[in-house]
Amino acid sequence: MNEVARKLGNAAPPEPHYREAPNNIEAEQALLGAILVNNDAYYRVSDFLKPVHFHEPLHRKIFEVAGDIIRMGKIAHPVTIKTFLPADTRVGDLTLAQYLGRLAGDAVTIINAEDYGRAIYDLALRRALITIGEDMVNIAYDAPLDMPPQTQIEDTERRLFELAETGRYDGGFQTFSDAVAQAIDMAGQAFERDGHLSGISTGIMSLDSKMGGLQRSDLIVLAGRPGMGKTSLATNIAYNIAASYEPEVQPDGSFKAKNGGVVGFYSLEMSSEQLATRIISEQTEVSSSKIRRGDITEADFEKLVACSQMMQKVPLYIDQTGGISIAQLSARARRLKRQRGLDCLVVDYIQLMTGSGKSGENRVQEVTQITTGLKALGKELNVPIVALSQLSRQVENREDKRPQLSDLRESGSIEQDADVVLFVFREEYYVKNQEPRDLNDPKYPEWEQLFEKVKGTADVIIAKQRHGPTGTVKLAFQSEYTRFADLADPSFTQYEEP
């Protein structure tokens, strides 16, 4: 308040014993004056400027009260505003009513209202940067046991990312009207997008028709027993999204994905070379085992070279760090979005990640922390996260090997935190292991008939979906190319569950 009085000319300037936090009281006064004279000035800044961005507490309160009055359809001016502010407030020699009148009287025009608002907002960001820097220095000096240097780096990165995201760092509620506008905008984008999907297309039409694509901020858990093809399906989806990436320039000069998207792939189980080999095999239809052995023809090698040149332009980024923690994963995802953009994250797989590392935590608590962190990260970055998960061994003890949601319970809160749970099930895998050793066995023809029925197919069971129906999608699976695709033969639809 003394600072306001000083800049009004009612107090002597203090001796500059220390550096002052960046602020511009005159810009705050000019903007508030413009709003009091013409309420239209409020709408020029209300989409990005909030009360917390004002340096002077009294100005925060004036801006907040004026905004409330204007949104109610009433006129905000010195007479209507002063009744909602403490009557005994003084600014130097001025009463509150006199100060409000002075603000309105000094206002000349609303033409510069947005410029004043931007100046106030930028200074607020600078003050927030100073706070983050001070905290970083103080914590580094104190060296607390519960915050080692790596943890401090990750925490600082998180805070800087939140500050970089316009309108996010101060948090708070949003009005329902804003949510409705976003929903309508999403519907419009779905109408314009290829396939008319509200989410990001997986590149597999039968799966998209059930899910509407991968929805932003959703945690999609893709689970299955070893050998079912979890990583293959995740790799197929990740590459399909990245390969169909089509950027669209926004009014502010930034890029947004019109189709497809930028994909981040955390491969905790396989190296980036192994993952690339799978994708190349899928795209060129050259067996991955032949690629590894070098058992390829000259024509095959030319196909591999041509495919690799095309794939170098695909925005698919791989992190092969093993045993990564949820904090490290989050920090790297924020960095990727800031530097390259990000539209989808894939994590292969949950059980290979680590939690906070606090002593006394059992594995169930640790996995619970991981899934909760993944869900929060998806909402923060506004991207779908596809997280792979192993299933418990109890599946193998049942006669019916189809996985159920209960098979996830040993892994903490995966079932509760996930928006979508998908199970990959290949009956071919189990039927093949039941092949009679003797070709003359009376059961052999029956086995052969069953094997032909399930050969080359896979079921993706949608066991949970917050936004849509559950059911089973039957896909084609080419094991030699590790590729999932839509079934070309429509007769297989007879096996599809509703």
Length of the chain in terms of residues written: 498
224 within 8 A of 423, measured Cβ to Cβ:
yes
Q: Does the pLDDT at position 396 exceed 60? A: yes
pLDDT (0 to 100) of residue 359: 46
- Per-residue pLDDT, averaged over 34-59, amounts to 85
Average pLDDT, integer, range 407-416: 70
pLDDT (average), residues 36-56: 84
Residue in 108, 84, 45 with CA at minimum distance from that of residue 53: 45
Query: Which pLDDT belongs to residue 4?
Result: 64
Q: Residue 131: phi, psi to the nearest 5?
A: -60, -45
How far is Cα 104 from Cα 114, in angstroms, rounded to an integer?
17
Check: CB of residue 219 under 8 Å from CB of residue 413. no
State residue 400's pLDDT score: 75
pLDDT tens digit string along 368-380? Answer: 888 888 888 888 8
Amino acid letter, 99: Y
Q: Is the pLDDT of residue 357 over 60?
A: no
d(CA 223, CA 387): 8
Tens digits of residue pLDDT in 156-192:
877 777 676 654 434 445 566 666 776 666 666 656 6
Residue 102: pLDDT above 60?
yes
* Structural tokens at position 381: 């970055």
Write out pLDDT tens, residues 237-282.
888 888 888 877 766 556 677 778 888 998 888 887 788 888 888 7
Q: 477 pairs with which residues across the strands?
A: 484
> Contact at 8 Å (CB) between 3 and 25?
yes
The whole-chain average pLDDT of the chain stands at 78
Contact (CB, 8 A) for 388 and 348: yes
- Asked if residues 304 and 284 have their Cβ atoms less than 8 Å apart, the reply is yes
pLDDT at 215: 87
If one compares 61 and 434, the residue with the highest pLDDT of the two is 61
pLDDT at 366 over 80: no
Sign of dihedral through CA atoms 98, 103, 105, 106? Answer: positive
Look at 82-86, 313-317, 360-364, 470-474 and tell me which has the smallest mean pLDDT.
360-364
Q: Is the pLDDT of residue 360 over 70?
A: no
Q: Do residues 234 and 272 touch, judged by C-beta distance below 8 A? A: no
Q: How far apart are CA 204 and CA 244, in angstroms?
A: 12
What is the bridge-based pairing of β-strands 420-425 and 457-465? antiparallel
Instruction: Report the pLDDT value the prediction gives residue 386, as an integer from 0 to 100.
Output: 92
120-159 per-position pLDDT tens digit: 888 988 888 888 888 888 888 887 777 788 778 877 877 7
Whether residue 349 is preceded by a cis peptide bond, meaning omega within 30 degrees of 0, is yes
pLDDT (0 to 100) of residue 345: 92
- Helix, strand or coil for residue 95? strand
Q: What is the pLDDT of residues 198-211, one digit of tens each?
A: 788 888 888 888 88
End-to-end CA gap in the chain: 67
Which residues, including other chains, have CB under 8 Å from residue 84's CB and lie 6 or more apart?
A: 65, 68, 69
Cβ neighbours around 193 below 10 Å, total: 19
Q: CA–CA separation, 485 vs 207, rounded Å?
A: 10
Beta strands in 124-228 (DSSP E): 219-224
User: Which band of pLDDT confidence, cut at 50, 70 and 90, is reported for residue 490?
Assistant: very low
Amino acid sitting at position 98: Q
Which pLDDT band, with edges at 50, 70 and 90, does 356 fall under? Answer: low
Q: Yes or no: say if 111 and 40 are a contact pair by the CB < 8 Å rule.
A: no
Range 296-317 average pLDDT:
81
